A and B are shown apart, each in its own frame.
Chain A
Amino acid sequence: MKTFNDQSSHGSIAPARPKSLPSLKAGVGLKPEHYRAILDQHPAVGFFEIHAENYMGDGGPPHRYLTAIREMYPISIHGVGLSIGSSGPLSEAHLLRLKVLIERYEPAMFSEHLAWSTHPSGYLNDLLPIPYTKEALRRVVEHIDTAQAFLGRRLLLENPSTYVQFAESSYSEPDFINEIVRRTGCGLLLDVNNIYVSANNHGFDPYAYVDQINHLAVGEIHLAGHTRELDTDGSPLLIDTHDRYVDDAVWSLYAHAIRSIGGVSTMIEWDANIPDLPVLLAESDLANAVSLAATG
């Protein structure tokens, strides 16, 4: 089994840059709408997380603001486009873009999804589900090995939110993910909202999922809001929309996860209908409070 250092071995670390994440101080997603407010107000928040692909342009305000914000805060980089779950090869060009970004901003954490998005017709702009089969497992493991070796650091793999299952799946999702962790040495980004959404949509127990997952591998937790729609039979179909407050039931599941795992860097995702910064910060404060209460 390979092991990887948490910190990038590349580049120098500027002395002023906050390097590691405070373990119990929650972070929030970095949104262009909040750039100015963050620089003006310097709010008390643990870290900011960026979507890697939004900072892959050559220059411009995204890099200018991120550079300024990086001088004051730790950041984490969350990729959405590597397509680790693709049956085809990883894009070397995209791996290189990630490497450049990681070397430039020295994130405390780097994460990607257990999902796919590349297709012969082009890039499918969504996080698509994979069947949990031996063949898929081998491919995902190859891809994570490749990515970790190329990037020279450990990757945190995020569990997906899904709306369908595949008839050919032969693993449960936690078993599949635990096996990936065992074979690659990668860490986990446990998205508690995703667990809740998928549990509702597929009829499994989200608490049992949290209990079953490899706790030692969890390096980060995501929380987000979801939308309640209806399936054809009238039962709730939850959609992972990141467009509202974290649901009460997800907070409860989060408390359970923290009680089981211990304090973990936690981050609030809010990617659509983006609120003013104080609303987002209040959610991260709530994460701190719930985490503190759960760890006693």
Chain B
Amino acid sequence: MPFPQPRTFHGRQLVFGQALLDASRPIPDGVIGPDGRPSVRRFNVYRNNVVAGQVSTLCDAYPATVKLVGEEFFHAMARDYVVTHSPISPMMFDYGSDFPDFIDAFPPASGLPYLGDVARIERAWVEAYHSAESLPLSASCLKDILANDLRFLSLQLHPSTRILQSRFPALSIWRMNTESNEGQTIHLDDGPEEVLVVRPDADVHVYPLPKGGARFFKALLQGASMVDAADQAFESDDPFDLVAHMAMLFEAQLVVGTRTTQDNPHSSGVQHG
């Protein structure tokens, strides 16, 4: 199909970029080799650089996913993603944030329904790795809070905190496909898993959450008070152990700030879902 081939500087880049991402387009007019003639071979170096570079970025960001499906399958899947999803910034560690959603909707991967959730754990890991620093508090930060104020207590969680819920044993599958954990056996009917990812200091930690934990931690992340977050967790069908989760908040070094506010003790500012 013909399309404009303007030789203005702007038109040149518009057409160059379009042809770069869509290999079905002809190469732009006036892109030449040393003989002065158009060179598809040479233009394809750029096509390949862009696609291969972004595929390689995804490979680095999703190593367990690569391991699960094999390099050939992953590369084919990543190429499909790359040609329809350009990075929005030059910070390539940000690239591929919605790749797990793409995997969920990628028909050839439908036989591995847990694959997107494994990729979500990897994505959470990368986000935690690059997230802002904040100094975790020990449980003693609660000692000066008056008993009467406890019901108004809100906790500020570490900015690297990520909570995931999977219908599958995605965490177990992820662990089995990271370098240090091989050789376990996992059954897909092992049931759903909830996951906490956090980087309180130098290293990213990935923890399984006890049942109900995801609802509790998500509510806290959204700014709910301890009491409201616990109420939400108790509402779930799963038994919820508040004491165990309180302990986990500090053992996993999740808490970086506390606040007691009586301004709006029945706050309904928590978003459900």
Contacts and interface: CB of A to CB of B under 8 A. Distances in A.
B266 interface: no
A239 interface: yes
B123 interface: no
A164 B36 CA distance: 10
* Among B18, B42, B57, B131: residue with most chain A CB under 10 A: B42
A166 B30 contact: yes
Contacts of B21: 121, 124
A269 B130 CA distance: 24
Given A123-B87, A237-B45, A59 B131 contact: yes
A81 B54 CA distance: 14
B3 interface: no
Contacts of A145: none
Given A54-B93, A61-B129, A165 B33 contact: yes
Interface stretch (B8-16, B207-215, B251-259): B8-16
Interface residues of A, number: 49
B12 A126 contact: no
In which size bucket is the chain B interface? Answer: 35 or more
B172 interface: no
A28 B191 CA distance: 49
Nearest to B39: A164
B91 A53 contact: yes
Nearest to B54: A125
A130 B45 CA distance: 15
* Among B21, B41, B95: residue with most chain A CB under 10 A: B41
Contacts of A54: 92-93
A128 B50 CA distance: 10
Interface in B22-72: 29-34, 36, 39, 41-43, 45-46, 49-50, 53-54, 57
11 contacts: A58-B159, A60-B199, A61-B202, A62-B130, A88-B10, A122-B87, A124-B20, A135-B8, A164-B31, A167-B29, A201-B42
Interface of A: 53-54, 56-64, 80-83, 86-88, 94, 116-117, 119-126, 128, 130-131, 133, 135-136, 139, 163-168, 201-203, 231-232, 237, 239
